[in-house]
Structure formats: C-alpha cells, structure tokens
Amino acid sequence: MTGMEAALVAVGSELLGADRSDTNSSRLAAALAGQGVAVRRRAIVGDDEAAIAGEVARAVAEGIDLLILSGGLGPTADDVTREGVAMALARGLEERPEILADIAARFEGLGLRMPEVNRRQARIMAGAEVLPNRRGTAPGQRLAAGKLTLFLFPAVPDELEGMIEEHLVPWLAERGGGEAREMAVLKVACLPESAVEERIGPFYEAFGREGLTVLASAGEIQLRLTAAGSPDGRRRWLAPRLARLRELLGERIFADRPEVSLEGVVGDLLRRAGASLATAESCTGGLLAERLTRVPGASDYFLGSVVSYSDRLKIDLLGIPAELLAREGAVSAEVARAMASAARRLLGADLGVALTGVAGPGGGSAAKPVGTVHLAIAGPGEALEHRHLRFPGDRERIRWLASQWALDRIRRGPLARRAAAGAAGGEEVPAG
C-alpha cells in the first residue's frame, strides 16, 4: 500500500494549554516514518466530542488512509474519544463483557474493586477490533470505515509505546507500508553546531546535504542520516556516508544509537577499565552524580559524591586549605584541582572529578563572569587535569553543560588513555 497517507489527532484539553506538549504525535510520526507512511495532518483537540467527530469527518472527506487518535480513552466523563468517533461514523458503542472482566481483574490484582466509571472503557464501536493494552486499563480499537482505517490509542506515553509496537507497526508491516526508511544516528558531545558544521564540510562536498539532518541540543549534536529504498539500496547509500562522518568527527562521536547517553558511555568505559569514580561538586549541586546514577548498574564503578556547595564543607569535608580558598576563591583552578584530588583520595576512587563555577544569574565578576566553570579530574595515578571553561546561557544550561563537559572529559581523557582507543584529543571549544 505505497503512498499511504495518515493524520494524527491528539486528544486532551491539557494539550491546548501552555504546559503540556503533544509528544505522542511525534512518537507516532516516527513510527509511521519508519514504515514509509506520510503524515499529511496533525491536529490537537480538547476533550470535546464534537471536535473529535469533526476531525474524523475531515479525515474521511480528505481521503486519508489512516487516522490515529491518542487520548481520551480513560474512564472519566471527559474521556470522549470513543463517543466522538462513534458519532462521526454513526456507529453504535457496546459494552463487551470480556473486556469488562479484564479491567475488573486488573483492579482485583491491586486489591481494589473496579469503580463503576471504568465500565466506559469496555465500550467498543460496532465492527471494531479490540487492541489489548498490556500496560493499562484502556484497550485500543481499530476500525475500518470505507477507505479509512482508524486507530484509537491510549495517551499515557508508556502505554502508547506498547500499542505502537504491538498493534501499529505489525499492522503496517503486514500491509507492506510504503517506502521503508532507515535512520542512522551519530551523537557528538561538547562541540558547538558551527564547529560540527565546519568539520563535516568535506562530507557536504562529497555527498551534498540531502538525507542529513543536524539536531542540536545543549552540549550535544545528533547527526541523522535517513535512507530510503530497498534494504540493499539503503545499505549502499548509508555505508560510505557514515564512514565519512566517522572519519571527520572521530573521537568526538560518543554513540551511534539514539538511545545511548553520554553517562551510559562513560559508565561502560569505566566498567571495562575496571576503574572507580567519585565526584566533588559545587556549582552543579550533585547533577554529575545524578547523571552518572541514571545508568542501571552504576554501582559497579561510581562510588559517590561530596556536594560541597559551601566553603565550610570544602574545608571541613574535603580538607581544602582555608588559605587557598581565601587566596584563589572557590571558583578557581587551584580549588578545582584540590577538590578532585580530595574526592579521589577521601572516597578511595581511581578517578576524582570536581566542578566549581559561577552558575548565575548573580555572583559573577569581571574576572569570573557568570558561566565560568573549573573542571578537574584527578587520576589515574598522579595525573591531574584541569579545564577552565566558559559557558553561555542561563543557570540551568550552565550547570548542564558543566556536567556534560565533565562526562566528556572523563570519556576522552583518562578513560581514552586507559582504553588506548582513538586518536589524540582535539582543542577545547566550549559553547552551547
């Protein structure tokens, strides 16, 4: 069914406001792209039966092949997606006893009686296929109406994810989808977008810009290559392009899968090196430790952190000489080095990492403006490296970038030396 066209409707009054964005439709769009289905329209409507019905009518009128609605399948009175779709297509809704039993059993499993309102979730449109939802109570539904196929999915992102994998992708794959696409990803840390652009200039000269997307976020750039065509054709297209990008960016690339994080890569390197790590943090307040411990199994290599935010704790806990603090200030190369050494020694780690800086908005001076951060890494052995960094942006961004630079230096510094992998490090270019 090449050339299938889809429309996405996110249902939820909270999505119309300022504080919730519709990430579900983005997730659905990605799944559709993977199957070669073009998205023609995306809409957001409130929990409003007439508005939902209107979207269905519009899809029918426009000759859309596939309409996917997410949300509004809950048990409460404001969950009216079933009713809105049924109204637009003039279908009846009937309560299915086996689904009701299923929902009741879920509640029993939690030691609860099913509230009466949950009956609504067992209401299925005439002619619809029930799509079991293993992660929640609201089942999905699939329904054919002439040329149009509708999917009704729950909105809780984790439940939606399950529905996409179990019910949407297999259904599309069975239909042959459209022209399949394949994406290859390279993730680069701690290089500004312009520096990445400059480095990959030769790639553009050789291959042009088509099929390459550069996505920047704070301290991280994702390069995405999207190939279309037959599996063979995609491989032939991707291989030389990936190889060239790898050549041009070298050790700046830390991952080639979208789900791999910088902290995960650092963790793997530490585990492989059999090295342990401890941190002493000031301006980041434990953010570096928090990121390191996001990774399951971090206890294999991460020992802990001293969040020495005050001078007193730098002195009392870490043993930084008061005289040094008074002379150089807490935000200084000397104090960062002393903190890193203390973390290493006191916590008994192979590597000690320290961050101290001015995150702002106040506290800056001409000599030490907001964004000034000192990063030091002690170990292995006598090694003691220090970086004086200057980050742009607000407090949150500065703190994030500090943690990002620390992770990347651990990756490319001591661990790269240990793993004896990759070429020598390039120059430091701090920027957002």
Identity at 360, one-letter amino acid code: G
Query: Rounded to the nearest whole angstrom, what is the least distance from the CB of residue 17 to ligand ATP in the complex?
Result: 10
Partners of 38 in the β-ladder: 5
d(CA 24, CA 168): 14
Report, in Å, the least distance between residue 161 CB and ligand ATP: 11
Are 298 and 269 contacting, i.e. CB atoms less than 8 angstroms apart?
Answer: no
User: Using the rule CB under 6 A, is 74 a contact of ligand ATP?
Assistant: yes
125 binds ligand ATP (CB under 6 A): no
Nearest distance, CB of residue 425 and ligand ATP, angstroms: 40
Verify binding: residue 140, ligand ATP, rule CB under 6 A: no
Instruction: Tell me how long the chain is.
Output: 432
Residue 10 contact partner, candidates ligand ATP, Mg ion, none, CB within 5 to 8 A by sort of partner: ligand ATP
Which residues, in sequence order, are CB contacts of 110 under 8 Å at separation 6+? none
Regarding 71 and contact with ligand ATP (CB under 6 A), the answer is yes
In the complex, minimum distance from the CB of residue 25 to ligand ATP, in angstroms, rounded to a whole number: 6
Asked if residue 22 binds ligand ATP (CB under 6 A), the reply is yes
3-state helix, strand, coil in the chain (%, to 5): 45, 25, 35
**By CB under 6 A, which span of 11-19, 30-38, 142-150, 296-304 interacts with ligand ATP?**
11-19
Indicate whether 352 belongs to the interface with ligand ATP (CB under 6 A): no
**CA distances in angstroms from 205 to 7, 170, 219, 260, listed in the order given:** 37, 39, 26, 29
Closest distance between ligand ATP and the C-beta of residue 48, in Å? 12
Paired tokens of 94: 């009937």
Pick from 17, 157, 201, 348: which binds ligand ATP (CB under 6 A)? 157
Q: Which of 1, 3, 17, 20 is the binder for ligand ATP (CB under 6 A)?
A: 20
Q: Which two tokens stand for residue 165?
A: 């994998």
- DSSP letter at 164 equals I
Shortest distance (Å) from residue 309 CB to ligand ATP: 33
Contacts of 199 (CB under 8 A, 6+ apart): 191, 248, 249, 252
30 binds ligand ATP (CB under 6 A): no
Q: Which residue, 67 or 320, is less far from ligand ATP as judged by CB?
A: 67
Which option in ligand ATP, Mg ion, none does residue 73 bind, with CB closer than 5 to 8 A by kind?
ligand ATP
Binding residues for Mg ion (CB under 5 A): 12, 71
Residue 49 binds to ligand ATP (criterion: CB under 6 A): no
Q: Which is nearer to Mg ion, 5 or 22 (CB)?
A: 22
Q: Of all residues in this chain, which one has the CB nearest to ligand ATP in the complex?
A: 74
393, 394, 397, 401 alpha-carbon torsion, rounded to 10°: 60
Residue 23, interface with ligand ATP (CB under 6 A)? Answer: yes
Closest CA to 162 of 31, 6, 11: 31
Q: Is position 379 an interface residue for ligand ATP (rule: CB under 6 A)?
A: no
Tokens matching residue 73: 């399948």
CA–CA dist 320, 105 (Å, integer): 60
- Considering the complex, state which of residue 72 and residue 357 has its C-beta at the smaller distance from ligand ATP: 72
Asked whether the beta carbons of 81 and 73 are under 8 A apart, the reply is: yes
**Which chain residues interact with ligand ATP by CB under 6 A?**
10, 12, 14-15, 20, 22-25, 70-74, 79, 138, 154-157, 159
